[in-house]
Amino acid sequence: MPKIDLEAIEQSNSTGYPPPFAAAVGGRWVRRLGRHSGLADFGVSHVVLKPGAASSQRHWHEDEDEFVVLLSGEAVLVENEGRTSMRAGDMAAFPKGEPNGHHLVNESEDDCAFLAFGRVPTGDAHYPDIDLRWSGGAYRRKDGSAF
């Protein structure tokens, strides 16, 4: 059935980030809608950020376009150019290969929810604020050493 029952999809707050970088996303809860729905060309995730949580570490992808739509609550988009408040209905796009590190942070006292569209990246991801890089299918330090 094309209509998605959000509550029937498992919600997870797991992350692959190594310590101490995982703490920032401890209040991020994700439902993988695309995978659940059988989509193959792109992914869609329903994400809830608890107060104080970030969507990710600030990052950009060499080979993945990303697009987000805020559904409820408030978040702050943090990117190279600064900080932008986002509310329900606001959208943001992050073209692949553009070195604009970005993430959403919930600085409010209430949950916020958004949809994130993209696909599983196969290339590198860069984290400008911390000693982290996604390369070769694993998180590594910027010098290439393992955690």
In the predicted structure, residue 1 carries a pLDDT above the cut 70: no
The structure's pTM equals 0.94
Instruction: Name 34's Cβ contacts closer than 8 Å, sequence gap at least 6.
Output: 42, 43, 44, 45
Instruction: Name 136's Cβ contacts closer than 8 Å, sequence gap at least 6.
Output: none
Domain boundaries, the chain: 11-131
The arithmetic mean of pLDDT across residues 1-17, rounded, is 93
pLDDT tens digits, 26-40: 999 999 999 899 999
pLDDT tens digits, 91-105: 999 999 999 999 999
Q: What superfamily in CATH does domain 11-131 come from?
A: Jelly Rolls (2.60.120.10)
